[in-house]
Amino acid sequence: MVATGEVRARAKELRALIERHNYLYYVQDQPVIRDHEYDQLFRELAAIESEFPELRTADSPTQRVGAAPLDTFEAVRHEIPMLSLNNAFEEADVEGFDRRVRDALGLADVEYAVEPKFDGLAISLRYKEGVFVQGATRGDGTVGENVTANLRTVRTIPLRLAAREVPDLVEVRGEVLMFKEDFLRMNRQQQEHGEKEFINPRNAAAGALRQLDPSVTAKRPLRFIAYAIGVAKANDLPRDLHSRQMDYLARFAIPVAPGRAVVRGLRGLMDYYREIGAKRAALPYDIDGVVYKVNDLACQKQLGFVSRAPRFAVAHKYPAEEAVTRVLDITVQVGRTGALTPVARLEPVFVGGVTLTNATLHNEDEVRRKDVRIGDRVVVRRAGDVIPEVARVLLEQRPGDAREFVMPARCPVCGGSVERAEGEAVSRCTAGLTCPAQRKQAILHFASRRAMDVEGLGEKLVDQLVDKNWIRTPADLYQLSAEQLAGLDRMGAKSANNVMAALEKSTHTTLARFAHALGIRNVGESTARDLATHFGDINALMNANEEDMLRVPDVGPVVARSILEFFAVPSNREVVSTLAGYIRFEPEAQRHAGLAGKSFVLTGTLPNLSREEASMRIQALGGKVASSVSKKTDYVVAGMDPGSKYAKAKELGLAILDEDRFLHLLDNLSTQ
Applying CB under 6 A, the residues found at the interface with ligand IVH are 83-85, 115, 117-118, 122, 138, 175, 227-228, 257, 291, 310, 313, 315
C-beta closer to ligand IVH: residue 302 or 533:
302
The CA–CA distances, whole Å, from 354 to 7, 151, 323, 553 equal 57, 36, 11, 43
CB of residue 283 vs ligand IVH: minimum separation in angstroms? 13
CB of residue 231 vs ligand IVH: minimum separation in angstroms? 14
C-beta closer to ligand IVH: residue 84 or 430:
84
CB of residue 319 vs ligand IVH: minimum separation in angstroms? 17
Which residues make Cβ contacts (< 8 Å) with residue 312, sequence separation at least 6? 101, 293, 294, 299, 300, 303, 304
Q: Residues 74, 146: contact at Cβ < 8 Å?
A: yes
CB of residue 153 vs ligand IVH: minimum separation in angstroms? 20
Q: Residues 188, 196: contact at Cβ < 8 Å?
A: no
C-beta closer to ligand IVH: residue 284 or 415:
284
- 3-state per-residue secondary structure call for 201-238: HHHHHHHHHCCCCHHHHHCCCEEEEEEEEEEEECCCCC
CB of residue 245 vs ligand IVH: minimum separation in angstroms? 12
C-beta closer to ligand IVH: residue 228 or 346:
228
CB of residue 265 vs ligand IVH: minimum separation in angstroms? 20
C-beta closer to ligand IVH: residue 269 or 452:
269
C-beta closer to ligand IVH: residue 228 or 602:
228
* 117 is a catalytic site residue: yes
- For helices 436-447 and 459-467, the axis angle rounded to 10 degrees is 140
C-beta closer to ligand IVH: residue 291 or 477:
291
CB of residue 117 vs ligand IVH: minimum separation in angstroms? 4
Go through the chain and tell me how many residues it has: 672
Looking at the DSSP assignment, which residues form a beta bridge with residue 306?
Answer: 309
In the three-class reduction of DSSP (H, G, I as helix; E, B as strand; rest coil), residue 348 is classed as: strand
Q: Where are the alpha helices (DSSP H) in 154-200?
A: 180-192
CB of residue 227 vs ligand IVH: minimum separation in angstroms? 4
CB of residue 114 vs ligand IVH: minimum separation in angstroms? 9
Short-list 137, 195, 132, CA closest to 160: 132
C-beta closer to ligand IVH: residue 285 or 635:
285
Short-list 56, 53, 48, 40, CA closest to 6: 48
Q: Residues 225, 177: contact at Cβ < 8 Å?
A: yes
C-alpha 593/C-alpha 526 separation (Å) is 20
Q: What is the DSSP annotation of 363-427?
A: SHHHHHHHT--BT-EEEEEEETTTEEEEEEE-GGG--TT-B-----SB-TTT--BEEE-TT-S-E
Q: Dihedral, CA atoms, 192, 196, 197, 199, nearest 10 degrees?
A: 180
The CA–CA distances, whole Å, from 336 to 142, 438, 461, 465, 652 equal 48, 5, 17, 17, 59
C-alpha 70/C-alpha 72 separation (Å) is 5
Candidate list 117, 180, 293, 440, residue with the active-site label: 117
C-beta closer to ligand IVH: residue 276 or 523:
276
C-beta closer to ligand IVH: residue 26 or 227:
227
C-beta closer to ligand IVH: residue 286 or 364:
286
Residue 97 exposure: Cα atoms within 13 Å on the Cβ side: 28
At 409, give phi and psi (nearest 5°): -85, -20
Looking at the DSSP assignment, which residues form a beta bridge with residue 77?
Answer: 143
Short-list 62, 59, 57, 60, CA closest to 43: 62
Q: For CA atoms 194, 200, 206, 209, give the dihedral sign.
A: positive
CB of residue 312 vs ligand IVH: minimum separation in angstroms? 8
The CA–CA distances, whole Å, from 605 to 17, 191, 626, 640 equal 22, 49, 16, 5
Note the Cα 441 to chain centre separation in Å: 23
Which residues make Cβ contacts (< 8 Å) with residue 399, sequence separation at least 6? 375, 376
Number of residue whose CB is nearest ligand IVH: 122
- What positions carry a catalytic annotation? 117
